[in-house]
């Protein structure tokens, strides 16, 4: 059963056509990467799916993601809340009592490597810590679907690799539906079970590939399997130019 399904979505901002024809179906427990060049409308697509943006034509079915675990591009942690305060926000909005939500945040902190940083404010944290805190907030929504917009786009290479490995491991254990956006081939290989490739703006779906790698193989960025998967994705993207 699909938790996200969109048919022939199209969207323009004035004269600028952003999405030409995008169809997408994401099944429960699937981990799907939306791969496409920068500025191709990936973020717009996510925003449409989240109900934050309207669309001009096409159809959106399955329950709309009005409450999703959303990790925006810039983390968007509230500057006046600590890690703890930011992470417990979804629970607070849902009316979970204070003691209970504190307990749930504290239980989750170690998995996110934030155990010792619960009382830090966002500006006191590194970029990687901020992304993990924002992801923790997304996970604690309890939502079936996690929507991640270039989760590690703004980080340095080393930190990015480390967090990609960590997230690949985490998504295995979380057992949730994940839809994420990236322009990075390697990130797509490390994280996704299935990749949907989008063309440059105005976006159409170029095709899709499944990525059947073990967790260990996903971490071997120079491994044979990894590189083969990466090449398949590259071929998919280059189809547009052919």
Q: Which residues contribute to the site for other proteins (CB under 8 A)?
A: 47, 50-52, 65-68, 70, 72, 74, 76, 78-81, 89-90, 92-94, 121, 123-124, 141
For other proteins, the closer CB: 57 or 92: 92
DSSP 95: T
CA–centroid distance for 66 within its chain: 16
Q: For residue 240, count other CB atoms closer than 10 A to its CB.
A: 15
CA distance 40 to 69: 23
Give whichever of 7 and 121 is closer to other proteins, judged by the CB atom: 121
* In the complex, least distance from residue 15 CB atom to other proteins, rounded to whole angstroms: 23
- Select 33 or 122, whichever has its Cβ closest to other proteins: 122
Shortest approach of other proteins to residue 31 CB, angstroms?
A: 20
Pick the closer one to other proteins by CB: 47 or 201. 47
Query: Quick one: tokens of 70?
Result: 């959303």
Residue 80 CB, nearest approach to other proteins (Å): 4
The long-range contacts involving 66-70, CB below 8 angstroms and separated by at least 24 positions, are: 67/141, 67/143, 68/138, 68/141, 68/143, 68/145, 68/146, 68/147, 69/137, 69/138, 69/139, 69/140, 69/141, 69/142, 69/143, 69/145, 69/146, 69/147, 69/176, 70/138, 70/146, 70/147, 70/149
The strand pairing partners of 90, in sequence order, are none
**Measured from the CB atom, is 94 or 210 closer to other proteins?**
94
Q: How far is the CB of 176 from other proteins (least distance, A)?
A: 15
How many CB atoms within 10 Å of residue 61?
11
- CB 92, min distance to other proteins, A: 8
Q: Are 178 and 32 in contact (CB under 8 A)?
A: yes
Q: How far is the CB of 166 from other proteins (least distance, A)?
A: 23
User: Closer CB to other proteins, residue 89 or residue 204?
Assistant: 89
């Amino acid at each position: 059963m699909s938790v996200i399904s969109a048919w022939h979505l199209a969207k323009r901002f004035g004269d600028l056509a952003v999405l030409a024809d995008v169809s997408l179906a994401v099944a429960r427990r699937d981990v799907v990467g939306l791969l496409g060049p920068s500025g191709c409308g990936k973020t717009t697509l996510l925003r449409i799916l989240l109900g934050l943006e309207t669309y001009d034509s096409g159809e959106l079915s399955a329950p709309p993601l009005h409450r999703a675990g959303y990790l925006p591009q810039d983390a968007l942690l509230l500057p006046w809340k600590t890690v703890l305060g930011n992470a417990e926000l979804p629970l607070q909005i849902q009316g979970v009592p204070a003691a209970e939500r504190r307990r749930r945040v504290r239980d989750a902190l170690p998995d996110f490597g934030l155990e010792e940083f619960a009382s830090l404010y966002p500006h006191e944290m590194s970029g990687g810590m901020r992304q993990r805190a924002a992801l923790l907030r997304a996970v604690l929504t309890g939502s079936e679907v996690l929507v991640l917009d270039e989760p590690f786009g703004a980080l340095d290479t080393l930190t990015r690799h480390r967090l990609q490995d960590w997230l690949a491991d985490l998504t295995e254990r979380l057992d949730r539906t994940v839809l994420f956006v990236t322009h990075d081939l390697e990130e797509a290989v490390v994280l996704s079970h299935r990749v949907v490739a989008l063309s440059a703006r105005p976006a159409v779906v170029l095709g899709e590939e499944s990525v059947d790698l073990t967790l260990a193989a996903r971490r071997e960025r120079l491994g044979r399997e990894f590189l083969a998967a990466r090449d398949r994705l590259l071929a998919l993207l280059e189809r547009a130019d052919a």
